[in-house]
Chain A
């Protein structure tokens, strides 16, 4: 089934450790996004990429980095995790910025 694959599904991570959340889409969408979802705060944009080779900062980019080496993959890296990064992370893609988003099923990350 076409769509977005996120891995891992969940992870417990010690503070100070690094981690990369993986996201792959097979719809050949140009734009990809990372959001975090926290209770009472809705979804907040971390980073985005309008096309392969370009990235941009969202509302809450600090502590996160991304790369977009090709159309299909958009990994999110936490260089040194902190407890406030405990959240559910959603990757999404769309034909273009502003178009309807297709979401993955999320990665639940707990930083201890």
Chain B
């Protein structure tokens, strides 16, 4: 069965610092991978997705993620964090035949 692990429950970074949120997945076939962001009281918004091809994908709000098959990882990165990036971030895995499975999320706090 497919699964997603986000090892970090909560991360705090300083504004302007770089960010990396970890995501590891377990999936038998070539996965579709996603990162979503959730602001308080809101639904989830898609940041970026990987289906195939270039393993480094660019998303909205300056985020990027790199698919590493050998490590079963899809880590999310941003070179310089803004206070408005404080939110909950979810990694998800799926395929063309199955609904997405989500990780438990990583809460990002940004300090001045």
Q: Give the B-binding residues of A (Cβ under 8 A).
A: 4, 31, 33, 35, 40-45, 48, 58, 90, 92, 96-106
Contacts and interface: CB of A to CB of B under 8 A. Distances in A.
Contact of B46 (A35, A90, A97, A101): A101
Given A43-B90, A103-B44, A98 B103 contact: no
B99 A90 contact: no
Contact of A106 (B43, B95, B105): B43
Given A41-B104, A103-B36, 9 more contacts: A40-B9, A42-B102, A42-B105, A43-B90, A44-B102, A92-B44, A97-B97, A101-B36, A103-B45
Contacts, number: 61
Interface of B: 9, 32, 34, 36, 41-46, 49, 90, 92, 94-105
A100 B49 contact: yes
B104 A101 contact: no
B43 A98 contact: no
A101 B42 contact: no
A90 B43 contact: yes
B34 A100 contact: yes
Q: Indicate the member of B44, B95, B98 with the most A CB atoms within 10 Å.
A: B44
B91 to A, nearest CB: 9
B102 A103 contact: no
